[in-house]
Amino acid sequence: MNTKKIDNDYVLSTYGRADIEFIRGDNATLYDTDGKDYIDFTSGIGVVSVGHANKRLSKALCEQADRLLHVSNLYYIAPQAQAAKKIVQASGYDMKCFFGNSGAEANEAAIKIARKYGERDGEIKRYKIITLQHSFHGRTITTVKATGQASMHNYFGPFPDGFVYANDIDEVANLVDGHTIAVMIELVQGEGGVEPQVQKKVQDLAKFLKTKDVLLIVDEVQTGVYRTGSFLASNLYEIEPDIITLAKGVGGGVPVGVVMTRLKEIFSPGDHGSTFGGNYLSCVAVCEVLDILQEYEKSGELAQSMMYFNKILEDFFNKHRSIFIKKVGIGMMCGLRVKNADILSKIINSARESGVMVLKAGRNTLRFLPVLTISKKEIDEGFIRLNHAVSKL
């Protein structure tokens, strides 16, 4: 089967695909059709949190698929209720959840929650949502407009009104007016260059917004589910958002999006919904992924793995100061600023040829989102290959 030809003939060209096809994986190692192995420092862009072909996750999915996949949200779904309970308890916040299928859907739901809250009291409709430059919140028409990168707004207008962009957190307070209902931020901007926000500034912003009854939405699509060390980056920053969105790593590879909010009675039946969201298969995945990662975190292995990965990354950065400007990120969400975009593309291509997968992000950043369960052996081998790739440039 010539997958490349079939893809070119029948699949829309929305991705700049590398000329490679993977057929199996084992934790943080991938294998292509020629049998070549690759160390995966991308985890499917932060998705495969418990590793490729995780035996516990596979077993849970197979057992559920053998019983029931889908009945619709017109009925009670035990795994959905259990997944919501596990998420809320892990977060430490007093919230309820809604399940969709992606980060964009989770952010759409967050925007709808905020907009409904904005017209519940008073005569002035509050609808404006402030986001940050370099942010990324999804690819639907609304979440594209919520994204503060002008390049994302080409071709697809007209867009929904009501989004205002702040250059940085320092500017947000000056943009709040009588029509503002929410501020949406990423605590570590992923597509924007793996750029962490300053904790004190985030805490001050959260306090300010409470005085104005303006909701704080934290997009944790990429930072959530132990990616930064804590279950949520919000926990790490010691804030209490009004709305939090999750996706990517929460399903370990099964499509899941989650919005959670302290506004527990904001929606009435019919206000929102999803045909596939929260079905048996996806929520069994959430339950098993959370069980695996909570055990991994409580044992201390997660912290040890993060410390080791960052130590080796720091060594790599110091060895190649002629190429890299700065190390950024938190936990297993890391990046290295590269001097220019041309070098960045060459590094990624050379790395792939050398058998290690890495990513790019905005602001000329080489991005690392490894499997959370990555082994010391895989980390060592990955950086041996990456050093070889960079030395060839």
Given a cut of 80, whether residue 1 has pLDDT beyond it is no
Band of pLDDT at residue 10, cut at 50, 70 and 90: very high
Band of pLDDT at residue 18, cut at 50, 70 and 90: very high
68-298: CATH topology is Aspartate Aminotransferase; domain 2 (3.40.640)
- Domain parsing of the chain, residue ranges: 3-54+300-391, 68-298
Given a cut of 70, whether residue 164 has pLDDT beyond it is yes
The beta strands (E) that lie in 163-296 are given as 163-166, 180-185, 188-189, 195-196, 215-219, 243-246, 257-261
Of 312, 294, 301, 302, give the one whose Cα is nearest residue 386: 312
Tell the CATH superfamily of the 3-54+300-391 domain: Aspartate Aminotransferase, domain 1 (3.90.1150.10)
| pLDDT tens-place string over residues 80-133 | 999 999 999 999 999 999 999 999 999 999 999 999 999 876 678 999 999 999
Secondary structure (3-state) at 241: coil
- What whole-number distance in Å separates Cα of residue 205 and Cα of residue 170? 8
The mean pLDDT of 232-248, rounded to a whole number, is 98
Band of pLDDT at residue 324, cut at 50, 70 and 90: very high
Cβ-count burial 135-166 (b if 16+ within 10 Å, e if not): bbbbebebbbbbbbbeebeeeeeeeeebbbbb
pTM for the predicted model, two decimal places: 0.96
